[in-house]
């Protein structure tokens, strides 16, 4: 069967080469991006490859527009990196949110359109950021309580306490500029085609209210390291350590690397332009319940979801996407295909280099996709009893981020270890205890703790490194034990997920948590490749909905929504006629 599938794929690919070259030539001469109508009697109107949250969002939107839609997911369950699982066979009542762990950037539009709350979307807002220091003392920072922040920070630096409201206001102002850009389809910057220039000018016009200072601040944010930026504002190591964490989450870069200031801002946006986002929060039932809510909405709209259905190749017909071939050889046809996989898988493996423009292939080959993240999920017999804030009864400091990132040099050292090829001796951790609110994840009286930790060497995605990962996790636990001496003995079960498992079991190539780094050269009009940041691809009829597109990563659903919108707009334009199609392909 597999051999047959390969032959079929080769034949389809062969036929497609000429058509793809023609499409490429058409692009080069600026005539049109091919948008055609039906491809005869297809099995479905739309196939979505990958049942992660973005694939499910795309499917739900496509089905809402009336398309008969099929989702194909390789794993036995949907959700991708938004997954709740029971990793311990001897303790099936303990469930963990195995990879992603907190919500923040899901736009109100998606929550409303898909009626996610009806399908179980329920967020508990997180408590404060909390760091207990190995040398004694602790700090709490609140998302929305300036008075308490002032009191907390004053214990470390009066000057920093006074600076904090100005910093918050500065950041809020910049987030107002950057937030709406997340819902903007990036224009094809640099193109001189009239329609692309028009899109670029439209974007520039929308920014006309920005003054010299704001542009300067945005420039700083986009180019500086989080360490340099915080040095301009604060002096105490404790405050700088606390504010640095968001600059390096999921990033193959320490806090002194340029670009990390933007990563911090990405995690601080409160409004993407369609209403205020919730603060960071825990989904009841873990992040898998977010994916389940979207799957529920998709099914309600008529989407068919198949799990255990691994896609091996894209089917091409006349240079156009016309379906997929599964690993078991089955061919399924559709008028439109949306893929939500990592770009290397989606384009190099499924479409094939021979069917893509050379410069696009080079861009995807050069795509940076490292993280060095290790997720450690723990079942606890009791809550951490911090020396600085004693007690195992639930207290405010258990309800938010329970960090191990005491200072900037501490975080930097962890990165330097990994860059030099060793797992961090003292890793940093963004910890959370969702069971401070969510009683559905484990039996009463127990807790689940999730540690998002960094770094191990980026090439650990190539080998399991099982024993070294265990030793790394033990060191991480020791770090917490220094500030909460009951921690180690409270651990009933531990689940350690490293880059190899992320790549091989979840499709996160290179172990990058966002399908690709959020580095400056991979943002906005460059995500995933210049000329293709509008959720379309070099293959007509193939749309791209992964976290490797603009507004990804994170569990925000924006790539899924935008890819579906692009497919729907092109399809409607095609039905209206070829001239209209050419215009609409670029003017959504
Ligand atoms: C450890 C970790 C922690 C994170 N923490 C957070 C967090 O707290 N908050 C947050 O917002 N984001 C977080 N993220 C990022 C976020 O989870 C991802 O950006 C997001 O879930 C990706 O969604 P997606 O739908 O684009 O892709 P994915 O979730 O990767 O979905 C792609 C799907 O495609 C499937 N697939 C792969 N190959 C095939 C194939 N050949 N055929 C069919 N199906 C296939 C996969 O199994 C998967 O289900 C974290 C990620 C990780 C790994």
Q: pLDDT tens, 279-310?
A: 689 999 999 999 999 999 999 999 999 999 99
Atom of ligand 1 nearest to the CA of 102: 8
Task: Give, using CA atoms, the residue closest to atom 34 of ligand 1.
Answer: 50
At residue 210, the pLDDT reads 81
Q: Do the beta carbons of residue 126 and residue 281 sit within 8 Å?
A: yes
Q: Which of 51, 75, 100 should be mutated for ligand 1, with most atoms under 8 A from CB?
A: 100
Q: Is the CB of 333 under 6 A from ligand 1?
A: no
User: Torsion over CA of 451, 457, 462 and 464, rounded to 10 degrees?
Assistant: -50
Q: Is the CB of 73 under 6 A from ligand 1?
A: yes
Q: Is the CB of 554 under 6 A from ligand 1?
A: yes
**Strand, helix or coil at 331?**
strand
Query: Which residue in the block uniquely carries the two structure tokens 């006349």?
Result: 318
At residue 269, the pLDDT reads 76
At residue 16, the pLDDT reads 41
Number of alpha carbons in the 13 Å side-chain half-sphere of residue 188: 19
Q: Is the CB of 507 under 6 A from ligand 1?
A: yes
At residue 578, the pLDDT reads 60
Q: pLDDT tens, 438-447?
A: 999 999 999 9
Q: How far is the CA of 515 from the centre of ligand 1 (A)?
A: 8
Q: Do the beta carbons of residue 514 and residue 554 sit within 8 Å?
A: yes
Q: Is the CB of 454 under 6 A from ligand 1?
A: no
Helices 53-64 and 558-576: crossing angle, nearest 10°? Answer: 30
Residue 211: count of CB within 10 angstroms of its CB: 8
**Strand, helix or coil at 501?**
helix
d(CA 92, CA 357): 49
d(CA 561, CA 248): 27
Q: Do the beta carbons of residue 21 and residue 306 sit within 8 Å?
A: no
Q: How far is the CA of 50 from the centre of ligand 1 (A)?
A: 9
Q: Is the CB of 540 under 6 A from ligand 1?
A: no
Residue 565: count of CB within 10 angstroms of its CB: 18
d(CA 323, CA 79): 22
What stretches in the chain show pLDDT beneath 70? 1-40, 270-279, 578-588
Cβ neighbourhood burial of 546 (10 Å; 0-12, 13-18, 19+) = buried
Query: Which residue in the block uniquely carries the two structure tokens 């099914």?
Result: 299
Q: Do the beta carbons of residue 461 and residue 450 sit within 8 Å?
A: no
Distances in whole angstroms, Cα of residue 547 to Cα of each of 189, 362, 499, 562: 21, 19, 17, 12
At residue 14, the pLDDT reads 43
Q: Do the beta carbons of residue 143 and residue 119 sit within 8 Å?
A: no
Q: How far is the CA of 518 from the centre of ligand 1 (A)?
A: 15
Q: How far is the CA of 341 from the centre of ligand 1 (A)?
A: 9
Residue 88: count of CB within 10 angstroms of its CB: 17
Q: How far is the CA of 56 from the centre of ligand 1 (A)?
A: 11
Q: Is the CB of 557 under 6 A from ligand 1?
A: no
Q: How far is the CA of 52 from the centre of ligand 1 (A)?
A: 6
Cβ neighbourhood burial of 543 (10 Å; 0-12, 13-18, 19+) = buried
């Amino acid at each position: 069967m597999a051999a047959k599938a390969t032959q079929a794929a080769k034949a389809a690919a062969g036929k497609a080469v000429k058509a793809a070259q023609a499409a490429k030539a058409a692009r080069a001469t600026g005539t049109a991006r091919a948008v055609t109508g039906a491809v005869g009697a297809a099995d479905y109107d739309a196939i979505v490859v990958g049942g992660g949250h973005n694939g499910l969002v795309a499917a739900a939107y496509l089905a809402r527009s009336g398309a008969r839609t099929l989702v194909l997911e390789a794993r036995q369950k949907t959700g991708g990196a938004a997954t709740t699982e029971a990793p311990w066979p001897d303790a099936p009542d303990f469930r963990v949110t195995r990879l992603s762990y907190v919500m923040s950037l899901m736009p109100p539009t998606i929550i409303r359109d898909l009626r996610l709350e009806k399908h179980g979307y329920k967020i508990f807002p997180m408590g404060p950021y909390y760091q207990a220091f190995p040398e004694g003392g602790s700090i709490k920072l609140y998302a929305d309580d300036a008075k308490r922040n002032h009191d907390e920070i004053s214990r470390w630096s009066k000057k920093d306490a006074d600076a904090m409201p100005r910093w918050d206001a500065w950041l809020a102002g910049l987030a107002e500029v950057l937030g709406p850009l997340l819902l903007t389809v990036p224009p094809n910057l640099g193109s001189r085609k009239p329609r692309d220039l028009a899109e670029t000018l439209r974007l520039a016009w929308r920014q006309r209210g920005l003054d010299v200072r704001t542009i300067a601040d945005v420039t700083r944010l986009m180019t500086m390291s989080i360490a340099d930026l915080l040095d301009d504002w604060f002096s105490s190591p404790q405050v700088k350590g606390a504010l640095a964490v968001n600059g390096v989450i999921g990033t193959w870069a320490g806090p002194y690397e340029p670009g990390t200031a933007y990563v911090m801002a990405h995690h601080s946006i409160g409004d993407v332009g369609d209403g205020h986002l919730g603060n960071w929060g825990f989904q009841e039932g873990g992040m898998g319940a977010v994916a389940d809510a979207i799957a529920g909405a998709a099914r309600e709209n008529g989407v068919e979801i198949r799990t255990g259905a691994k896609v091996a190749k894209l089917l091409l017909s006349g240079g156009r996407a016309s379906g997929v071939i599964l690993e078991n050889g089955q061919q399924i046809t559709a008028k439109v295909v949306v893929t939500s996989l990592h770009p290397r898988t989606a384009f190099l493996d499924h479409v094939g280099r021979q069917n893509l423009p050379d410069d696009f292939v080079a861009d995807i080959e050069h795509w940076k996709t490292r993280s060095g993240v290790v997720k450690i999920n723990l079942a606890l017999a009791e809550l951490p009893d911090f020396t600085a804030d004693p007690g195992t009864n639930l207290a405010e400091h258990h309800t938010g981020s329970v960090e191990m990132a005491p200072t900037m040099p501490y975080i930097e050292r962890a990165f330097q270890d990994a860059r030099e090829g060793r797992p961090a001796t003292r890793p940093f951790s963004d910890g959370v205890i969702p069971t401070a609110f969510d009683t559905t994840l484990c039996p009463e009286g127990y807790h689940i703790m999730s540690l998002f930790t960094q770094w191990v060497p980026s090439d650990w995605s190539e080998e399991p490194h099982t024993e070294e990962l265990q030793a790394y996790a033990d060191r991480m636990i020791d770090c917490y034990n220094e500030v909460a001496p009951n921690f180690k003995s409270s651990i009933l079960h531990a689940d350690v997920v490293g880059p190899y498992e992320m790549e091989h079991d979840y499709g996160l190539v290179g172990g990058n948590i966002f399908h690709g780094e959020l580095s400056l050269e991979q943002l906005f009009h460059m995500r995933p490749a210049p000329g293709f940041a509008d959720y379309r691809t070099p293959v007509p009829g193939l749309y791209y909905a992964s976290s490797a597109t603009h507004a990804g990563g994170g569990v925000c659903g924006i790539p899924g929504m935008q890819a579906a919108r692009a497919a729907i707009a092109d399809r409607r334009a095609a039905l209206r006629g070829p001239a209209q199609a050419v215009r609409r392909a670029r003017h959504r």
